[in-house]
Structure 1
Amino acid sequence: MEFYYHPISPPSQAVWMVLNTLGVNYGAKEVQLMKGEQRSKEFLKINPMGKVPALKDGEFTLGESRAIAMYLCTAYEPKFKEGKLYPRDAQEMARVNMLLNLDASFYNKIYDYASIGRMLQRQPLEQENLAPAKEALSNLESLMTEYPYFTGDHPTIADIFILSTVKLLDLTDFNGWSEYPKLMKWKKLMETLPQYEKSMGKPVRETAELLKNL
């Protein structure tokens, strides 16, 4: 299995965390986005959309981060494992799927504000996009229940993807976390998970340092 990624890409970070949590054997291949490797003939055979992340499992290839995560869990998560990243119960799976779909829209709202592309080009963040980003955080806060994670007492791929989304704000000077106490508590809990540091914590810190030194 080959995992094609770039460490600066939040969707790549999310899939990386899923891979590491599942403990499957894979080779990691960094795609040099600045050199345009995502548009090479070789890479387009793996993901015709020319985006990271992508996966090659034998002859099977797949793009789109959430689809990759669902595939990995369906194919490689032990059937009788407790606390699955991707539940098999129809209702539990539906809730995770709902959160993954919501996260796609939340990601767009937060990325419109915390745009890595703009920051790499040394362009100021567009403050008019802060309100929609905060609206996304408010929506996430409202989705939290009495459980420590979004769907219960253990994390799922929905938690992992939402974490990669809100971590975008760690690249900025955003200081409004106190407005979202449940979400802030959840975020700190997610950052204690065993595979967080390698998959997301270190890449986010390195990205923040890169942006700071531009």
Structure 2
Amino acid sequence: MKLYHFPLSPNSRRVVAVLHHLRLDCELEAVDLSKGEQMQPDFLKLNPNHMIPTLVDGDFVLWESNAIMQYLCSKAPYTSLYSTDARVQADINRWQFWQAAHFGSACSVMIFEKVVKKFFMQAEADLQEVAKGEERFHRFAQVLEQHLKGRDWLVGNDVTLADFSVGSFLALAELAEYPMAPYSEIPRWYGNIEQLPAWISSAPPAG
């Protein structure tokens, strides 16, 4: 298998973390978004959306990070990351879909305005867009905060794909200046993720 990824991307990091957690053999190939490498013809043949991550497994090509994570779990049957129990699996799916549709999109606004513009475009943040992102962040962070009360993990008693999916965006919380002050459960829970060996080893290189 080969995974095309961008190390700083939350979408990429959670897939790499799952690879490490499951101890799967996979070649990692970085695609430098800052240089437009995702627009190269060879990559567009794999992913016409020109986005990362993208997994190639023989003649099978798969994009969308949450789908890739679920597929990887099929390589390691009986993993607790993605239960075979229909209700538990549906609950994991629910949080992955929620991340993709709501929480991740809110965080992405602040990542673009405070990180991408600053470090890759040498541009100033649009404060109106930041305000919209913060408003949306609070809407969904409150949902996450309430759910986490009395819980170490999002689903059940152990880490699952749900934790990697939702938690991946918190790795950039400080850099993107998320408005985290009102929340205590979210950083407590993310602290559990930060202690996982797979999460530690999936961190992008310093510098």
Q: Same fold (TM over 0.5)?
A: yes
> How far 1:39 sits from its partner (Å)?
1.4
Question: What secondary structure is seen at the aligned counterpart in 2 of 1:195?
Answer: helix
Number of the residue aligned with 1:111: 108
Distance 1:50 1:175, change over 3 A: closer
The normalised TM-score by structure 1 is: 0.86
RMSD of aligned Cα (Å): 1.8
CA–CA distance in 2 between the matches of 1:39 and 1:2?
18
Structure 1, 16-25 or 123-132: larger mean CA deviation: 123-132
The normalised TM-score by structure 2 is: 0.88
CA–CA distance in 2 between the matches of 1:182 and 1:25?
34
CA–CA distance in 1 between the matches of 2:118 and 2:165?
22
List structure 1 segments (4+ residues) > 6 angstroms apart after TM superposition: none
Question: What is the aligned residue count?
Answer: 199
**1:182 aligned to 2:185?**
yes
Contact in 2 for aligned 1:111/1:168 (Cα 8 Å): no
Number of the residue aligned with 1:123: 124
- Superposed, 1:52-91 pairs within 5 Å as 52-74=52-74, 76-79=75-78, 81=79, 84-91=80-87
> How far 1:113 sits from its partner (Å)?
2.1
CA–CA distance in 2 between the matches of 1:125 and 1:139?
26
Identity of aligned residues (%): 30
**1:29 aligned to 2:29?**
yes
**1:195 aligned to 2:198?**
yes
Contact in 2 for aligned 1:85/1:156 (Cα 8 Å): yes
Number of the residue aligned with 1:144: 148
Q: Note the residue ranges of structure 2 that are not aligned, 5 or more in a row.
A: none
Contact in 2 for aligned 1:107/1:165 (Cα 8 Å): yes
> How far 1:125 sits from its partner (Å)?
5.6
Number of the residue aligned with 1:20: 20
Q: Note the residue ranges of structure 1 that are not aligned, 5 or more in a row.
A: 210-214
- Superposed, 1:156-175 pairs within 5 Å as 156-174=160-178
